[in-house]
Amino acid sequence: MLRLIRAQWPHPETPESPVFFGPSGLTWPPEAPPDALRQPEQSYPEFLDAIGAVGMGGSMFPASRKLAASQGVRTVVINAVECEPGTTIDKALLLHHAPLIQAGVKASADACGAKRIVIAIARSRNLFRRLRELYPFDVVMMPRGYPGGAERLIVKKLTGKMLPAGAYPGQVGILVQNVATLRAVGRALLDNIPVVERPLTIAAPHRRLHHDVIAPVGMTVGALLEACGAAWDPEDEALIAGGLMMGRAVQPETEITKGTTSLLLLRKSALIARETNCIHCGACNVACPLGLHPIGIVNPVREGQRPLPRVVATQLEECFLCGACAAVCPARIPLVKHIKEGKACL
Amino acid sequence: MSVEPVSPPELESPFYRVGRTTMPMAFCTLGGLAILAALYAAFYDPWYMARWSGYVLAGLVIEALYMLLSTGRLRLRSGSSAVTAAILVMTIPANMPAKPVLFALILAIVLARMPIARGGLHLNPALVGRLFLMIAYAEDIVGWILPGMDADAVTTATPIELYHAEEFTYSLRDLLMGRIGGSWEGLYDMVPGGPGEAFAPVILLVGVLLYWRGIVAWRTGVAFVVAFAASCAVMHEPVLFNVFSGAIVFSAVFIAGDPKTTPVSKGGQLAGGIIAGVVNAVIRKHTYYSEGIVFSFLIVCLLAPTLDRIALWLRSRWLQRRRLSVLN
């Protein structure tokens, strides 16, 4: 049975509409030009490349290539599970930018020949009811908790099959797209604005600060925080981009990219963990959503075994670095770091 | 031009952690054991709690001294020595002299907690300590005498030794309530053994509580009890009497629940529990020992790295097959 991580992080179940925040001197939100971005002779993948559409769930994989690998699929899934604790931007977009998302997903479904559109959300009755009113699509509820929004888990929920490493959802007839990606496509189709906006969540739980905003791609993190009135204290706080579980520490000079899903201000004291010896409790095995043996594959990496045994390499290839194993480890072993080292050796 | 983010070396994702760290886990387990020790003190031996606390403290002192000698710093490694001491003391007679117990503690904490092979082989320290007592102080370890009792009449703690010799079965209700006592044919006075052999329902409750708080894993313990019960049934032994007498329930929670010395993998844990259960039932039925916890779980400790390797190999094979079936 899959045991997901349930984070204690206060955030609204049905968030307010995201607010546009841009640097002074820039027209923001951008004004919609009268000329359509999509040219009549242009194919849909070419259009996606022209507007700069990428996977905005964090991967930044070119949307046109994903679509090309998904020709002939039966179902398009709008992935709004958003399992990273405290991140609510996808829900905010689903609730308040429905016309853009509908335009984006219908274009994707038409382009790949899909007949069915499904919205995947984390279990929430309120959100389910609201989405049924806003959208003419089926809504599938995933278990709440991390990493419930992983593409492979959504595919498993819909098809009953867990995708192995190296396989695309398109191979089992499914295209999974992030809410922000579909909104960006809809924005280009309806408002003629290319992918220059990045919707994201800004949160600082210790200050009870939580904003869903839309910022220009390329704006610096520091400027955005200043515009939102969320000053950063470099002594006590760390700046994390991309979520608690899979994000990374950034600096104020770092620019917002199309893959920046959230900006979090967290107390440094809560983040630094002292590693102790493994007590062999097996918590990492229980937490792994793929049923892998994290400590079993990390030990040969740490011991410097090269080349890595085949049994270890197989499991390393499967791991998608969700970090659930490291989050539950009572010895605070940086399992993800070692798994990344191992993956680099393959 | 985008600026490459500078990641401070100490900040690695995930930035969110759940559950306890190792030292609080050890102290939660100790709390569970303290409940049993307090019950035993309340029902049978008012001074037991003081002696138990003294041994637990001794365990911590031995660990701190060991750390001072090996690392040059006076600190605790994980606090698990206190748990080792508590478990060891609860599986031996309450009136055991202090000197052998301290020897056993030193042996358990200093020697048995070191990995004895490159493959990460660990022996359960409490069981190693008990094995030492069984060999070096054989007379003391079977001397289940409470203060003030007539030594000539006392032979057994809980009814398993008597059952082993005379097929005498104790009332299951009294066994569950921890009311060990009375005599048999005027020859055998029955006394409660260590707290590890009384109050089975309370031990079970503590076990469930520890599992619920994420302190112990359930697979090894449950597999152990189920396999033991099934083996007893196959060998035409009374199942409930065997499960609730002796240290079966205590071992299922506190010995099988010891993460360091049992397999890590889910499959390995189940296999380890089954092996321990079957071996223990066979020892009870077919050898001169009335209980085989020490031997059955030390066998599991020896097999644990192998069981984990087999589980890893099986999982990888299954992943390879699945990949082939989906990609082709």
Interchain CB distance below 8 Å, B16 and A315 = no
Per-residue pLDDT at B150:
56
Partner-chain residue, chosen from B11, B17, B311, that has the shortest CB–CB distance to A249: B11
Per-residue pLDDT at A108:
93
Pairing of strands B154-157, B188-191: parallel
Interchain CB distance below 8 Å, B20 and A330 = yes
Per-residue pLDDT at B325:
78
Interatomic CA distance for residues B187 and B156, integer angstroms: 10
CA of A193, closest CA in chain B: separation in Å? 22
pLDDT < 50: residue spans in chain A: none
Contacts of A265 in chain B (CB under 8 A): none
Interchain CB distance below 8 Å, B25 and A323 = no
Interatomic CA distance for residues A128 and A306, integer angstroms: 50
Per-residue pLDDT at A94:
92
If we measure between CA atoms, which residue out of A296, A247, A314 comes closest to residue A343?
Answer: A314
Per-residue pLDDT at A178:
93
Interchain CB distance below 8 Å, A254 and B265 = no
Phi, psi of A82 (to 5 degrees): 45, 70
Non-local (6+) Cβ contacts of A113 within 8 A are: A71, A72, A73
Non-local (6+) Cβ contacts of A134 within 8 A are: A94, A95, A98
Here the tokens at position B207 are 């076990």
Beta bridge partners of A242: none
The one-letter amino acid at A102: Q
Chain B residue whose CA is closest to A286: B266
Per-residue pLDDT of chain B (328 residues; tens, 9 = 90+): 444 444 445 678 888 888 888 888 888 999 999 999 999 898 888 889 999 999 999 999 998 888 888 888 877 767 788 999 999 999 888 878 899 999 999 999 888 766 655 556 788 999 999 999 999 988 777 766 655 655 554 555 566 777 776 677 777 777 777 767 777 666 666 766 677 878 888 999 999 999 988 888 899 999 999 999 999 999 998 898 889 888 899 999 999 988 888 999 999 999 999 999 999 999 988 887 777 899 999 999 999 999 999 999 999 999 888 888 776 6
Cα B18 off chain centre by: 26
Contacts of B75 in chain A (CB under 8 A): none
Chain A residue whose CA is closest to B256: A281
Per-residue pLDDT at A336:
93
Residue of A220, A310, A312, A314 to mutate, interface with B, max B Cβ within 10 Å: A314
* Residue boundaries of the structural domains of chain A: 50-191, 197-270, 283-344
Per-residue pLDDT at B152:
55
The one-letter amino acid at B110: V
Contacts of B262 in chain A (CB under 8 A): 280
* Residue boundaries of the structural domains of chain B: 21-135, 154-191, 199-319
Neighbours of A71 (CB within 10 A): 13
Contacts of A324 in chain B (CB under 8 A): 14
Contacts of A292 in chain B (CB under 8 A): 315
Interatomic CA distance for residues A274 and A317, integer angstroms: 28
Residue with tokens 């984070």: A7
If we measure between CA atoms, which residue out of A93, A65, A92, A51 comes closest to residue A196?
Answer: A51
Partner-chain residue, chosen from B12, B78, B317, that has the shortest CB–CB distance to A337: B12
Per-residue pLDDT at B145:
61
Interatomic CA distance for residues A83 and A146, integer angstroms: 5
Q: What are B296-311's pLDDT values in tens digits? A: 999 999 999 999 999 9
Say whether residue B328 is in contact with chain A using an 8 A CB cutoff.
no
Q: Options 3.90.25.10, 3.40.50.2000, 3.40.50.11540, 3.30.390.30; which CATH number does A50-191 get?
A: 3.40.50.11540
Q: What are A208-258's pLDDT values in tens digits? A: 888 899 999 999 999 999 888 888 888 889 999 998 899 989 999 999 999
Residue of B3, B4, B18, B216 to mutate, interface with A, max A Cβ within 10 Å: B18
Partner-chain residue, chosen from B12, B214, B316, that has the shortest CB–CB distance to A315: B316
Interchain CB distance below 8 Å, A280 and B264 = yes
Contacts of A255 in chain B (CB under 8 A): 2-3
CA of A73, closest CA in chain B: separation in Å? 16
Per-residue pLDDT at A106:
94
Chain B residue whose CA is closest to A164: B323
Q: What is the 3-state secondary structure (H, E, C) of B197-259?
A: HCCHHHHHHHHHHHHHCCCCCCHHHHHHHHHHHHHHHHCCCCHHHHHHCCCHHHHHHHHCCCC
Interchain CB distance below 8 Å, A251 and B5 = yes
Partner-chain residue, chosen from B5, B16, B19, that has the shortest CB–CB distance to A248: B5
If we measure between CA atoms, which residue out of A326, A318, A284, A279 comes closest to residue B315?
Answer: A318
Contacts of A250 in chain B (CB under 8 A): 5, 7
Interchain CB distance below 8 Å, B25 and A296 = no
Non-local (6+) Cβ contacts of A81 within 8 A are: A120, A121, A122, A142, A148, A149, A154
Residue with tokens 């499914």: A174
CA of B307, closest CA in chain A: separation in Å? 12
Residue of B73, B260, B316, B327 to mutate, interface with A, max A Cβ within 10 Å: B316
Residue of A9, A293, A320 to mutate, interface with B, max B Cβ within 10 Å: A293
Per-residue pLDDT at B155:
52
CATH class of A197-270: alpha beta
Whether the link from the prior residue into B14 is cis, omega within 30° of 0, is: yes
Residues 196-215 of B with CB under 8 A from A: 214
Is residue A160 left, alpha or beta, with left meaning phi > 0 and alpha meaning psi from -120 to 50? left
Interchain CB distance below 8 Å, B5 and A336 = no
Say whether residue B17 is in contact with chain A using an 8 A CB cutoff.
yes
Total CB pairs under 8 A between chain A and B:
165
Q: Is the separation of the CB atoms in B172 and B241 below 8 Å?
A: yes
Interchain CB distance below 8 Å, A315 and B5 = no
Here the tokens at position A295 are 């400590």
Q: Write the DSSP assignment of B161-188 as a string of letters.
A: HHHHHH-----HHHHHHT----EETTTE
